[in-house]
Amino acid sequence: MTKNDDRARAGTRETYEKGARFYDLMIWLYYLAGMRIGLWRRKVIKALALRPGDTVVEIGCGTGLNFSLVEQVIGSEGRIIGVDISEAMLERAQKRVRNAGWKNVELVRCAAADYRFPRDLGGIFATGVLNYEPAYYQVIERGAKALARGRRWVILDYKLPKSWLRHLAPLFIFLGSGFGVSRDLMKRHPWESVQRHLRNIQMWELYGGFVYIITGESP
Ligand SMILES: C[S@@+](CC[C@H](N)C(=O)[O-])C[C@H]1O[C@@H](n2cnc3c(N)ncnc32)[C@H](O)[C@@H]1O
């Protein structure tokens, strides 16, 4: 890990420490900009093809907005491990877990690049996270090795569209600026690591190509 990478992570962590109390509200406000985030979350969880009893790792789980969708599939026999760099986001996730009465959620505070995945996972996913992680390619590779055979990594993130809509990037960046969205982060291509380390790849472009979901299976 380089010092620059650590500095970038510290900056992201600070952004989320400060923004945690507004996060869920901001997500609702994004709906007004046409972002159908609830639908995208459902698409991610469907793409994971989880089964009852699975152990699932969510990288950058934030306030736990995906947990209920996962719980509905894995049930009380399954297990969710939520990893996040921000203490304040995890405190909110912990509160959500307590209020829902889930006994099968473990929260881990660390950078994605420092996390050591347990073996034989039933699924790994990250929604709106990996562009922040400078070593995203390592995280994807390690995750791919930790999945049980045939199980899936699913990533939702943002990127520059190939079409003329890329000219609207300043507007997209403006909408996400409170959470550190930037043109530099848009130049990261986590989907290429998924294509490199997994097979049976499927990719969907959403929101005019600014958002994508990719899924791949462990070989
Ligand atoms: C846009 S939020 C997404 C939260 C959640 N996945 C969701 O869909 O609501 C990004 C989350 O990633 C976390 N994060 C950013 N960089 C990270 C890193 N390098 N390692 C782990 N978590 C990170 C932030 O703390 C924040 O909670």
Look-up: residue for tokens 């985030």? 37
Residue type, 127: T
What single string gives the DSSP state of each residue in 10-36?
A: HHHHHHHHHHHHHHHHHHHHHHHTT--
In tens, the pLDDT along 62-87 reads 999 999 999 999 999 999 999 999 99
Which residue has the CA at smallest separation from atom 8 of ligand 1? 127
Is the CB–ligand 1 distance for residue 179 below 6 Å?
yes
Measured in angstroms, how far is the CA atom of residue 180 from the centroid of ligand 1? 11
How many angstroms is it from 90 CA to the middle of ligand 1? 10
pLDDT in tens, 16-53: 999 999 999 988 888 888 999 999 999 999 999 999 99
Please work out whether the CB of residue 218 comes within 6 Å of at least one atom of ligand 1: no
| Res 182: pLDDT | 87
- pTM listed for this prediction: 0.96
Q: Decide: 65 in ligand 1 pocket, CB within 6 A.
A: yes
For residue 147, pLDDT beyond 70: yes
CB of 16 sitting under 6 A from ligand 1: yes
Using 50, 70 and 90 to split pLDDT, how confident is the model at 218?
very high
Q: What's the CA-to-centroid distance between 173 and ligand 1, angstroms? A: 17
User: Is the Cβ atom of 60 under 6 angstroms away from ligand 1?
Assistant: yes
Please say if the pLDDT value at position 163 is more than 80. yes
Residue 133 Cα to ligand 1 middle (Å): 9
pLDDT category, 177, cuts 50, 70, 90?
Answer: confident
Cα–Cα distance measured from residue 2 to residue 180, given in angstroms and rounded to the nearest whole number: 20
Instruction: Say if CB 132 and CB 108 are below 8 A apart.
Output: no
Note the pLDDT of residue 1. Answer: 63
Average pLDDT, the chain: 95
